[in-house]
Amino acid sequence: MNAYEEYMRQMAQPMRDELTNAGFQELTTPEDVDQFMEKAEGPSLVVVNSVCGCAAGLARPSAIESLRNEKVPANTVTVFAGQDREATNRMREFFEGYEPSSPSMALVENGKVLHFIPRDDIEDHEPEEILANLTNAYNQHC
């Protein structure tokens, strides 16, 4: 790892910790993604994390807050775009029919997307809107 990559990893660590401290499992390699997708039972929330402001101010807080809903996904995982590129690219292969965007969130089960929230539905939206988007998906699929 070169000095720039190490610097970026250190800068992104608090952004990773925000989700992992809330119970999200971090998937950092394509093998982690494959293993998770093969073994996960029940609906899973996947957060494609990133360093952008809408991830910090909207996506991560909304994803964490959504887990206070009565119905929640059985699993919560995250991949970090721009940091763990191979893992992120592998996860995006499961998001068939959806353009790559970060941040984004997907509710998946059995390797298929049940609900997808692209960056366009995060950026310039109120946290309450994103929270409602997630909890409505949970109420329907969990």
**What b-and-e string marks burial along 107-116, b requiring 16 or more CB atoms within 10 Å of the CB?**
bbbeeeebbb
Decide: 48 and 79 in contact? Cβ < 8 Å: yes
Sheet harboring 104-109: ordered strands across? 25-26, 75-80, 44-49, 104-109, 112-117
Q: Which amino acid is at 9?
A: R
For residue 54, indicate whether it is catalytic. Answer: yes
Distance CA 91, CA 29 (A): 10
Which of 51, 54, 56, 132 is catalytic? The answer is 54
Out of 27, 33, 46, 52, the active site residue is: 52
Instruction: Write out the catalytic residue numbers.
Output: 52, 54
